[in-house]
Structure 1
């Protein structure tokens, strides 16, 4: 049997919603904004959703500092994002400056710089541009898009040996 595409949303009582949202929060770290949106989709009003969020926070099922820390660790270690891109994403998710700062403390400087060097080397292998200055600029733009800081990009490019192909002038 096929499920209907225009499925009407199911509404829950606050008690039912609490059980569902507790499972939602236990599955992975969430922000207050995400949880509130989910509760609203369950048909709860702002006050009911607020009470459930307070309860989840008290019971440590919802913790935005923990969310920020997990987000930063995951995006640095898995996606190899830079601080600027992570910061932008956390702000977009509606986290406070306090939570963002706590999350960014999770960045290990050595791992962070090694990620930058790894990305640089990978992009260098893939880059087809042969003109040294254009090649360096393209790699720099790529790393900037990943969220790395300009001073670190310059340092990494210089350390990388001015990018192979630069001696071919």
Structure 2
């Protein structure tokens, strides 16, 4: 893995940082000693700059690939994988159809905006219903309990 050597401009602490990590962080490094954030590419050490420039200015290598005929290139769309019974062309056309249907604009309000208020009112009605059931139970059950305890009725 390729790495570069850099130094913190604030406290001069030296670091060796991998190029991959620098690319992810867009060149920014936080010093562990003074917590200063700096651009590692701008603070590269002079010995490392020569190596870095030599790597970047190297001539690009040419990759050679065998040339496929039109028939061979189009056969890829007709091949099927082991786990699927549809070919690549059918799959790509299906995906494109689903994506086009999902993005269709409508003239009215968006569907999720239509149901949001309905769901909210349904939730409010649900809690009102639960509250009324609890009030009914707390009112009627003691009356039944009192009637059963003080009852002179006999079943047989």
TM-score relative to the length of structure 1: 0.20
Which one scores higher on RCO, CA 8 angstroms, separation ≥ 6?
A: 1
In terms of fraction of residues, the more helix-rich structure is 1
Return the index of the structure with the highest Cα Rg.
2
